[in-house]
Amino acid sequence: MAPRNPKQSAPPLTQPRADGDDAVVLERRSQRTQPPQMFQVVLLNDDFTPMEFVVQVLQEFFNKDRQAATQIMLKIHLEGKGICGVYSRDIANTKVEQVQQAAHSAGHPLQCLSEPIE
């Protein structure tokens, strides 16, 4: 059998199916598999969590160097919220849980959440 070039061939069709009076309906499937939904993990500002703790969270859980972590922390402090990173759903949820656990253990009210993007 000759190999098919997927870029040149028409999008796949579902199996023909009999519909009522022997009519056959061809349904076109959606053309492309969509990329997975991505999520941004966000930290919210508060009046109590120490700046140094936020910098350490950004370094430990979001792999930021100290300079980048400090810039993100200051942006959150000044603007109310800031993006720590963008991940697939499960990784984003894990990051949120890690931050919440660390903040809770240290007795800080730091809030972290995940938001779908686009």
User: What is the token pair recorded at 25?
Assistant: 């309906």
Q: Does 75 bind ligand TYC (CB under 6 A)?
A: no
Q: Does 114 bind ligand TYC (CB under 6 A)?
A: no
Min separation Cβ 45 and ligand TYC, Å: 5
CA distance 20 to 88: 43
Q: Does 99 bind ligand TYC (CB under 6 A)?
A: no
Min separation Cβ 82 and ligand TYC, Å: 7
Q: Does 76 bind ligand TYC (CB under 6 A)?
A: yes
Contact set for ligand TYC, span 18-47 (CB under 6 A)? 43-47
The H-or-E segment that residue 106 falls in is: helix 89-106
The H-or-E segment that residue 52 falls in is: helix 51-62
